[in-house]
């Protein structure tokens, strides 16, 4: 682990996050990621390069469009910051390795999918399916094993059965996201699913306590919880998995 390398990786991570905010904004609308250039969603004024510096521009502009003064959503700096932190964390944990590159790519995809799901309640096939193929191939090249594909289909089948039992709780987008999680995490996807389901209970219990039976009709995006579980499994999954297996042992 090299903190200096991780610190250097933070800036590229912010830049990736800036691109991911564009992905999250345009993919649900089926717009091109390349054209037209980024512009204010209210006044359509093109955003100058000096107003596109990750985090810094948001602070300088005080979260508002330079031209019309419309507030810029917090999702943009949040996506940039989280992406930067996660990319740096991957380098810190795995060094400058192929494994770190796969982990960083996986984390960035999770950030984009979470942002889309929070805003639009969907997990876009245009993001999750190509990412799954890329991660599955990369993991198999890095460490040839059937673990990756078995974990991908096993996790997806698990959530598919959950959808059949309780369709209001999640959708097929989450099932497809589980494919990506299994391909990236292998056997540790079990940890990710457990953490996701436990963490999702918190807002579920809150809504139930506040709204009673009406809360059953209030959907919450599940992809961010799957992303949280995946990140926990990526960095601490081995220890959690071993601890759980140890509890089951003699």
Cis peptide before 36 (omega within 30 of 0): yes
Give the model's pLDDT for residue 213.
Answer: 59
pLDDT value at residue 218: 59
Give the range among 18-27, 82-91, 106-115, 202-211 with minimum mean pLDDT.
Answer: 202-211
Q: Which of 82-91, 133-142, 209-218 shows the lowest per-residue confidence on average (mean pLDDT)?
A: 209-218
First vs last Cα of the chain: how many Å apart? 34
Lowest-confidence segment of 26-40, 126-140, 186-200, 231-245 by average pLDDT: 26-40
What is the residue whose two structure tokens read 């089948």?
157
Q: What is the gyration radius of the CA atoms in the chain, in angstroms?
A: 19
> For the residues 225-244, what does the mean pLDDT come to?
92
Average pLDDT, the chain: 88
Task: Return the top range by mean pLDDT from 43-47, 228-232, 242-246.
Answer: 228-232
Neighbour tally for 99: CB within 10 Å: 15
> Within 13 Å, how many C-alpha atoms sit on residue 21's CB side?
24
Nearest Cα to Cα of residue 88 among 168, 185, 15, 189: 15
Mean pLDDT, residues 78-104 taken together: 96
Select the more confidently predicted residue: 119 or 241.
119
What's the confidence (pLDDT) of residue 214?
57
What is the model's pLDDT at position 142?
A: 97
Confidence of residue 249 (pLDDT cuts 50, 70, 90): low
pLDDT band at 1 (very low <50, low <70, confident <90, very high): low
pLDDT, average across residues 31-50: 75
**8 Å CB contact between 87 and 13:** yes
User: Does the model's pTM come out above 0.75?
Assistant: yes
Between 182-196, 202-216, 222-236, the lowest mean confidence (pLDDT) is in 202-216
Residue 19 has pLDDT above 80, yes or no: yes
pLDDT band at 216 (very low <50, low <70, confident <90, very high): low
Mean pLDDT of 23-47: 79
For residue 209, what pLDDT is reported?
66
Tokens 């094993």, located at residue: 145
> What pLDDT is attached to residue 206?
62
């Amino acid at each position: 682990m090299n903190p200096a390398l991780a610190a250097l990786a933070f800036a590229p991570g912010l830049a990736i996050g800036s691109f991911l905010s564009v992905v999250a904004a345009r993919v649900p609308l089926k717009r091109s990621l390349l054209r037209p250039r980024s512009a204010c969603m209210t006044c359509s004024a093109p955003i100058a390069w000096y107003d596109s510096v990750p985090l810094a521009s948001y602070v300088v502009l005080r979260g508002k469009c330079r031209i019309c003064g419309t507030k810029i959503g917090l999702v943009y700096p949040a996506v940039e910051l989280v992406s930067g932190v996660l990319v740096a964390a991957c380098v810190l944990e795995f060094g400058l390795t192929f494994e770190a590159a796969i982990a960083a790519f996986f984390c960035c995809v999770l950030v984009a999918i979470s942002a889309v799901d929070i805003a639009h309640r969907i997990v876009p096939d245009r993001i999750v399916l190509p990412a799954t193929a890329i991660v599955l191939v990369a993991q198999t090249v890095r460490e040839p094993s059937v673990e990756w594909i078995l974990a991908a289909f096993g996790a997806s089948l698990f959530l598919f059965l959950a959808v059949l039992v309780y369709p209001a709780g999640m959708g097929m987008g989450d099932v497809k996201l589980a494919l990506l999680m299994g391909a990236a995490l292998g056997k540790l996807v079990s940890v990710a699913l457990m953490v996701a389901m436990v963490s999702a209970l918190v807002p579920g219990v809150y809504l139930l306590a506040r709204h009673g039976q009406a809360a059953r009709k209030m959907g919450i995006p599940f992809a961010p919880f799957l992303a949280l579980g995946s990140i926990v499994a990526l960095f601490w999954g081995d220890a959690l998995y071993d601890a759980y297996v140890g509890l089951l042992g003699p």
